[in-house]
Amino acid sequence: MSAPIDLSRFPNLPSEVVNAFAAVQFELSVERAARQHEQAVVAEKDAFITELKELIEKLESQVQDYRRTKFGPKSEKLDPTQMELALEDLETAIAETQAQIAFAEEKIAASTANCEKTASSRRQRKARALPKSLPRVEQVIEPDSIVCPCGCGNMVRIGEDRTERLDHIPARYQVIVTIRPKYACPKGRTGVVQARAPAHLLEGSWPTEALLAQIAVSKHSEHMPLNRQAAVMARHGVPIDRTVLADWLGRTGAVIAPVVDHMAMVLKQGSSRLYVDETTAPVLDPGRGKTKTGYLWAILRDDRGWSGSAPPGVVFHYRPGRKGEYAAEILDGFNGTIQVDAYGGYSQLATPKRTGGDPLRLAFCWAHGRRKLIKSQPKKGSPIVDEALLRIAALYKIEDSIRGCDPDHRRAVRQNLSRPLVDEFFTWLTAQAARVSRKSDLGQAMAYMLKRQAGFRLFLDDGRVDIDSNLVENAIRSPAMNRRNALFAGHDEGGRNWARFASLIGTCKMNRVEPYAYLRDLFISLANGHLATDIDALMPWAYAHRISASQ
């Protein structure tokens, strides 16, 4: 475009000509500015698009890492104790990248002429509802003025918009000062009158029952060791040493011992089928300055799978080892069926030599058998393992269809549908085992199931028995998480204390009871002597019944 004409060189031009030239020059400048703005917008949009492409590539890479971590081959998976932390960080990174992409899209939309159309056509995120049980605090935001501009008076309310956000009230510690005035006759004729002191779970100590419940839940449900809790309390202005917290929790564990013992007795005496499993519980061995391997033995009752009426519950027993004699001691007085893995320590319980009751029936876990087959699979794959997994999957599909039905119906369906599949499976497995070396991993995995056919078949003849022991495996995950965070218990008695709290909290979760609320109520009841009057009312399922009845 040519440079603008300088009209000062022509002083004698008519005013009409000067005005016409000025108008033309103004239009040209406006056109030039519009073109420059359009070029700037295009350049800015291209930059935003380049940024968006880079973010999308970054997100695709993060999603691929997430899938590999969670679903990838065994050789690429992390240790189970590290898996949750890794997934948590990957999920956080993905969310951050998604937010950056959304921000880049907004910038692109704002830089275009039809930004309103682009924004409205973007896919809206599906709204998620917050739990209705949470308390609501409403705040109404009114306009600065509702006076109508037309002069008719105040505007009329025709509707409203509601949005919900989740808030948090930080923890607050307070000191409860109990004052008990003393009264006496002004003439000294009678004695002194004073209200009785309220009962405390730990007499002569600072913590209320609510604080003790919070400490126990933080350690055994949220897996927060006492040294970390002490650091948090100090941050809130309450410098309580870790050793003091340990003293409080140890004394509380001794008080709840009769409750847990009674719960264990109820589970054994009121059931014909129990799940049993064990997990390691490292314990410090002061004599050697190292840790030794203790065990938490889990005894679980859950009859909901066959529509039983007994409430579910789990009790953990700490023992210094994994010998079969510990299983015999824990199950003393129980007669019936136990659902277990094929650990040899249980085998003596199924013999006539068993002390403490009749010989038990051992129902073995198909999930364990399947797991051994998967573990034995070569890196290049195995048609035998693939076929075995398909056959086992067919059994689980039948189980899904009868979960929650009564025992007679479950047994009838299994006899009609599952028994032929089980017969075919073991016939086929026997033929395949003859083709594979017994010393190979696959040969040992097949022998594991073939040698224990009776235990694997037991679920076919009893509708109260499940196909696996996954329920008890799920129950021991919480103590395992606590083990990962606390590393080890400091003493055998610490292991027993660990087991007691894990029992109460695990049973609360099975009965859909908030553990903190239950423990607080339990501690108050124990402080007031309810243990000696009605111990059955202190069970977590009794608390759950009271809560549901009051709602």
pLDDT of res. 13: 61
The parts of the chain modelled with pLDDT lower than 50 are 1, 75-77, 114-122, 485-490
pLDDT of res. 260: 96
pLDDT of res. 125: 53
For 61-80, what is each residue's pLDDT tens digit? Answer: 777 777 776 666 554 445 55
Beta strands 273-285 and 290-301 are: antiparallel
Provide CB contacts within 8 A for 170, sequence distance 6+.
none
- One-letter amino acid at 218 equals S
**pTM of full prediction above 0.85:** no
Locus of tokens 């698009």 = 49
CA 474 remoteness from chain centre: 11
- The vertex-81 CA angle with 76 and 87, nearest 5°, equals 60
pLDDT of res. 384: 93
Bridge partners of 294?
A: 281
pLDDT of res. 15: 66
pLDDT of res. 58: 77
Locus of tokens 């907004």 = 106
CA–CA dist 416, 425 (Å, integer): 15
Provide CB contacts within 8 A for 206, sequence distance 6+.
none
Contact criterion met (CB below 8 Å) for 209 and 470 = no
Sheet of 290-301: strand order equals 313-319, 290-301, 273-285, 337-340, 361-364
